[in-house]
Amino acid sequence: MIDESKLSSLLLENITLRPIEPHIYSVYPQEGHTNTYDKIWSFYDLVMGNRYYNRIMWGYRIADFSSFCHDSLASSSDGWVLDAGCGSLVFTSNTYTGYSKRPVVLLDASLQMLRAAKSRLSRLNGNVPANMVFLHGDVLHLPFKPGSFRTILSMNVLHVLPNINGVLSELKNALADGGTIALTSLIANDRFGDIYPKLLSKTGQLIPRTPNQILACFDELGISTSHYVRGNMLFIRNV
Ligand SMILES: C[S@@+](CC[C@H](N)C(=O)[O-])C[C@H]1O[C@@H](n2cnc3c(N)ncnc32)[C@H](O)[C@@H]1O
C-alpha cells in the first residue's frame, strides 16, 4: 500500500500531506477547496461514460482511451506513474484494474471526482489496488520534486484549462529524464462545423483549440511529440 510516508517521499519540502480518508490525501492546506467538477461530477460520469455520446458527438471510441492509457503504462517497467487530472477514471478504470507493476498517483483538483474514481476502482478490483493512491492537488502547482515520475498521463485536462503552457511546464518539471508524457485534448477540427464544441465553449466547459495551437505549446517548451487525431480528440506524446 502507498502510505503517507511513501507518498511524502515524492513531495517538495514545503508541502504537507493531509489525509482525507483511506487512500485519499490532499496537498491543499485547508478543507473546502472545490472546483467545477465537484458539482458536475455525476453528470460528467453519466454522459462521458456513454459510448454513443462519445462516438456520435466527438467521433472517437471510448476504447481509444484504454489503449492510449495501456500504452503509457507499458512505456516503462519501473518508476512512478502520475495521472494528472485523473477525474473519475470513467475511461481508464478498466486499464488500471489489475495493473500492479508500478506505483501510481491519481491526482485531481476535485475531491468528488477522486471519490468517484476510488469507488469505481474498488468496485472493479474488489479493493483499491495497493499500488495506487489518490491525491487532491492542482496540475498548475504540482507538489512534487522535479523528475519524480517516469510516466505522466493527462487525459482531457488541457481543454478545460486556459493556461496550457503552465500545465505543460509543470508536467515537464515532474517528468524524469527519458520519461513518457502522454496527453489527450478535445480539439476543434471542423467536424460538423464544430458547432457542439463552440456551444460548450460558451458554457465555459471547453476551450476549443486546433491541434497546431496545442502542438506549438509543446514546441515552445522543447518537447518533441508525435500525435494522432480521432474525431475531435488529439492524442499526443513525447518522442
Ligand atoms: C474533462 S475532466 C477529465 C477527467 C479524466 N481525465 C477523463 O478523461 O475523464 C477534467 C478533469 O480535470 C480536473 N481539473 C481541472 N482543473 C484542474 C487543476 N487545476 N488541477 C487538477 N485537476 C484539475 C477536473 O477536476 C476534472 O476531473
Q: Tell me the per-residue pLDDT of 59-116, one tens digit each, with 9 for 90 and over.
A: 999 999 999 999 999 999 999 999 999 999 999 999 999 899 999 999 999 999 999 9
The domain that holds 32 is classified in CATH as 3.40.50.150
Query: How many A from CA of 161 to the centre of ligand 1?
Result: 9
- Confidence band of 239 (pLDDT split at 50, 70, 90): very high
Which atom, in ligand 1's list, is nearest to the CA of 167?
19
Q: What is the predicted pLDDT for the residue at 181?
A: 98
**What is the rounded average pLDDT of the residues 54-58?**
91
- Confidence band of 155 (pLDDT split at 50, 70, 90): very high
Measured from the CB, is residue 207 less than 6 Å from ligand 1? no
Q: Is residue 182 within 8 Å of 210, Cβ to Cβ? A: no
pTM: 0.96
Q: What is the predicted pLDDT for the residue at 232?
A: 93
pLDDT for residue 31 is more than 90: no
Q: What percent of the chain has pLDDT over 70?
A: 100
Average model confidence (pLDDT) across the chain: 94
- Confidence band of 193 (pLDDT split at 50, 70, 90): low
**What is the rounded average pLDDT of the residues 173-183?**
98
Which atom, in ligand 1's list, is nearest to the CA of 86?
6
Domain count, the chain: 1
Closest C-alpha residue for ligand 1 atom 1: 156
Q: What is the predicted pLDDT for the residue at 201?
A: 79
Query: Domain range spanning residue 217?
Result: 4-238
Burial of 127: CB neighbours in 10 Å, binned 0-12, 13-18, 19+: exposed
